[in-house]
């Protein structure tokens, strides 16, 4: 059985849960997925960043727009989140070239019902 892994922000707050390959927000809603090479994608298959040590979700400031969209896996059931999570480990400071997605750009990882209208923008 897959292990539920808390994903933190750089400031040490709980930002999401990873139940490989699915990412869930703190309410248990599906917000994205992780590939085998630790790339992170939205529920629509758009590249967001990568899963770094900590774990936390980062991306380079020079955003990589050339990444193709991936077909997302089938939508999972809503996750029953635990009432508490372990404290975040001490994490190294971010380099200037990196951005913490869950802390600085959390609206890049939205639940499926929040992204329905975004497909019209493409």
Percent pLDDT > 90 in the chain is: 64
Rounded CA gap, 118 and 65, in Å?
17
Residue 77 — very low, low, confident or very high, per pLDDT cuts 50/70/90? Answer: very high
The domain of 58 spans 5-121
Residue-level pLDDT at 101: 94
User: In the chain, how many domains are there?
Assistant: 1
pTM recorded for the entire structure: 0.87
Rounded CA gap, 77 and 89, in Å?
29
Burial of 7 (0-12, 13-18, 19+ CB in 10 A): buried
Rounded CA gap, 37 and 106, in Å?
22
pLDDT digits (tens, 9 = 90+) for 11-37: 999 999 999 999 999 999 999 999 999
């Amino acid at each position: 059985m897959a292990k539920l892994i808390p994903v933190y922000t750089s400031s040490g707050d709980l930002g999401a849960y990873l139940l490989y390959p699915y990412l869930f927000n703190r309410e248990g809603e599906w917000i994205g997925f992780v590939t085998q090479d630790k790339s992170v994608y939205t529920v629509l298959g758009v590249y967001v960043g990568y899963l770094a040590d900590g774990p936390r979700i980062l991306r380079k400031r020079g955003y990589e727009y050339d990444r193709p969209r991936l077909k997302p896996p089938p939508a999972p059931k809503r996750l029953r989140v635990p009432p508490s999570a372990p404290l975040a480990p001490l994490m190294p400071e971010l380099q200037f070239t990196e951005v913490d997605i869950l802390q600085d750009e959390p609206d890049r990882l939205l639940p499926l019902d929040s992204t329905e209208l975004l497909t019209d923008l493409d």
